[in-house]
Structure 1
Amino acid sequence: MVRMISVDEAQARLLALASPLPPIEVELTRAVGHYMHGPLVATRTQPAADLSAMDGYAVTSADFPGPWRVIGESAAGRPFLGMLHAGEAVRIFTGAHVPKNADRILIQENAAREGEIVHATQDQSPADKPHIQHAGSDFLTGAEILTQGALLGAGQIALAAMAGYGKLCVGGRPRVAVVATGDELVAAGTQCTAAQIPSSNSPMLRAMLSNLPCDVIDGGILPDDLAALEASLAHLAAQADVIVTTGGASVGDHDLVQPALLNIGAKMDFWKVAMRPGKPLMAGKIGDTIMLGLPGNPSSAFVTATSFLLPLLRYMAGCQTPFPELQEAITTRDLPAGGMRAEYLRARVGEGRITPLNTQDSGLTHSLSHANALLLQPVNAASRAAGTIVQYIRLP
């Protein structure tokens, strides 16, 4: 009899089958969604010099409130190269270099100018902000500005560009073959007979993978035929770092994925996880290729992909914290006692409160489309009343 293992043990054993892929170098504009390989160190100081944060006049506080005589102009990319002396000011614009000896900006709104003479109005005093961005106030040359494994979004790309980079060294891109199995499946958009259903798991998984740095191989829909499964899985194992199947992972006469894998030399690591939905989850390796078999019911496939497939790919792509973060909210409904399996309830969360959806049938997709969270009901949890703090996973 196959032992049913905990979610935590299954997650640890799955990652133990994998290793982070070798890093790759990508253009800065193509790095979004990747994970940093190693820390990123600034190659320049930003700002490289003191810059004005406002339009106005560069002056010295000792001369406040003026008057000053305007002796020149400093604009972004066209600095004033001289030095201020007592009673002198330089017209300055946002982002321009602050002249030597100037220690504050008299902002334009608070300046009164007649000809070449300018003075401060009563709206600005020496105690106000100097309106200067000092050299190195963002970062210094040699500073670590991104940590290893940092997820690269638009803000991180801007930071890397400002730090002097046009390319970045990031984690590798796993090649993932997505396969659906079952004689009853037809491609989405194809007219079905009463005995058929559209294949929803493959489009769903591809959507879930779309924000990850990976390359997806379409493994198609495979029939419940042992020889066909063996041939297709062996072919995909030669191309992919990970094969993910949906369906055929249980114990029925037509659940042939595991026998097919064993026949082509796969070594299975675990099968059956103490979770609902998603118990018939299996993992192993065909040579160097990781095999992950998800259940066929859409919600089961979704929950197991969230808890296993996505973390696996994040880890292989260089993420340091690949598993979804558990957050807390107050349940709006009573929860029954937990059983021998951890339950992941589709739910809606917002403003610190979470509501399990009425329908939790793993074969239904309508409730899945409404969920933005998975409420965790731990193994053997005591019953909990509405108003209790519970843990959940936030869905994208």
Structure 2
Amino acid sequence: EKAVRANDEISIKDDTLALGQHVRKPGAEIMAGAIPLEAGHLMNPASVSFLSAIGVSLVSVYPSPIVTIIVTGNEFQSSAEAPVWGKVYESNSAGLRAALQQAGISTINILYCRDDLNDTVTAMQKAIDGSNLVLLTGGVSVGEYDFVVAAAEKCGVLQHFHRVKQKPGKPLYFGTVADAVVFGLPGNPSSVLTCFYEYVLEAISYLTKRPVKLKQRHVRLQGHYTKAAGLTHFLKARYEDDVVFALSAQESFRLASFATANCLLVAEESVTEIAENSIVNIHLLP
């Protein structure tokens, strides 16, 4: 558009034109022998395109873990069935599957076992043999029908801790065996999700080297909160405009408040009262 052709010659009418301008020079994108992306780089669509553009078709990455969820209990029924006296709808597997998918995990297996030691051992061993991350729900306390800890011992799992000074989720269990990480989560659904967000996400972040763990903020509390010392409380809460308020229905079996929560408000173990307008720590939910 800025060229004039005359007598088989072309003249460029552009005073700003410079020699070599708009010419792709060898090595402009990357020099020979240079490292395209440093170790630990989080791959994204542009990363994939960049590597393809320079002829790299294979790279070493941290794979997403294969996860098995084991639901323990005699009391559950499918949500597709009419309610039966003495039974409850099983929701933990659905909630955990959704949370895992939100964290980028796609390979998720679900097993069910009764409150029986042999059943629990069989399910756990199958999960350990075929998974990197095993999540059990229920059966992790110290009751007559709680067999997760004993089953883990029989499966050779090295226990790192059992029972945490927190609410909800006090019976939480964590162990490792071979290439598998094992979490024994409590049975109540709010406890399951709280422990998933506070502990399992940390494990997924470590295994995948992706920053999926919860972000924290310090904000002002609307209202006040009191509790006994001795346990850290994770409260279902709403965070809006740099203010947070605890929701009602904090019981560990109740999910309605969790469904509308966007953060967990942390009341530390030694704290007995948090006054209104105090600055508190919250963990933002995904």
TM normalised by structure 2 equals: 0.84
> 1:175 touches 1:240 (CA, 8 Å); kept in 2?
yes
Identical counterparts, % of pairs: 24
1:379 aligns with 2:269: yes
Q: 1:219-258 residue pairs with structure 2 within 5 A?
A: 219-258=110-149
Structure with higher RCO (Cα < 8 A, 6+ apart): 1
Cα distance, 1:159 vs. partner?
5.0
- Alignment partner for residue 324 of structure 1, among 190, 198, 214? 214
Cα distance, 1:234 vs. partner?
1.4
Aligned-partner SS, 2:239: strand
Q: Give the partner amino acid of 2:161.
A: F
Alignment-derived partner of residue 126 in structure 1: none
Partners of 2:121 and 2:103 lie apart in 1 by: 28
Unaligned runs of 5+ in 1: 1-56, 58-69, 73-81, 91-97, 104-132
Unaligned runs of 5+ in 2: 5-9
> 1:346 touches 1:371 (CA, 8 Å); kept in 2?
yes
> 1:275 touches 1:343 (CA, 8 Å); kept in 2?
yes
> 1:172 touches 1:318 (CA, 8 Å); kept in 2?
no
1:346 aligns with 2:271: no
Alignment-derived partner of residue 370 in structure 1: 260
> 1:272 touches 1:279 (CA, 8 Å); kept in 2?
yes
1:193 aligns with 2:87: no
Alignment-derived partner of residue 61 in structure 2: 170
Compared CA separation, residues 388 and 293, structure 1 to 2 (3 A): same
Q: Give the partner amino acid of 1:330.
A: R
Q: Deviations over 1:209-266 (max 9, x none)?
A: 1033434342322111111111121122111112110100011111111122223333
Partners of 2:73 and 2:146 lie apart in 1 by: 9
- Alignment partner for residue 3 of structure 2, among 58, 66, 71? 71
Cα distance, 1:339 vs. partner?
2.0
> 2:93 touches 2:110 (CA, 8 Å); kept in 1?
no
Compared CA separation, residues 215 and 381, structure 1 to 2 (3 A): same
Q: Deviations over 1:253-284 (max 9, x none)?
A: 11111122223333322100111111100011
Compared CA separation, residues 149 and 208, structure 1 to 2 (3 A): farther
Alignment-derived partner of residue 157 in structure 1: 45
Partners of 1:316 and 1:83 lie apart in 2 by: 62
1:304 aligns with 2:195: yes
Compared CA separation, residues 335 and 175, structure 1 to 2 (3 A): same
Compared CA separation, residues 89 and 393, structure 1 to 2 (3 A): same
1:336 aligns with 2:226: yes
Partners of 1:318 and 1:301 lie apart in 2 by: 23
Q: Deviations over 1:126-164 (max 9, x none)?
A: xxxxxxx9989xx95268786544444xxx412542463
TM normalised by structure 1 equals: 0.62
Partners of 1:351 and 1:144 lie apart in 2 by: 43
- How much is the aligned-residue C-alpha RMSD, in angstroms? 3.0
> 1:325 touches 1:393 (CA, 8 Å); kept in 2?
yes
Aligned-partner SS, 2:273: coil
Cα distance, 1:338 vs. partner?
6.0
Q: 1:7-86 residue pairs with structure 2 within 5 A?
A: 70-71=2-3, 84=12
> 1:83 touches 1:100 (CA, 8 Å); kept in 2?
no
Compared CA separation, residues 160 and 135, structure 1 to 2 (3 A): farther
Aligned-partner SS, 1:313: helix
> 1:294 touches 1:304 (CA, 8 Å); kept in 2?
yes
> 1:237 touches 1:289 (CA, 8 Å); kept in 2?
yes
Alignment-derived partner of residue 18 in structure 2: 100
Partners of 2:195 and 2:189 lie apart in 1 by: 10
Compared CA separation, residues 146 and 337, structure 1 to 2 (3 A): farther
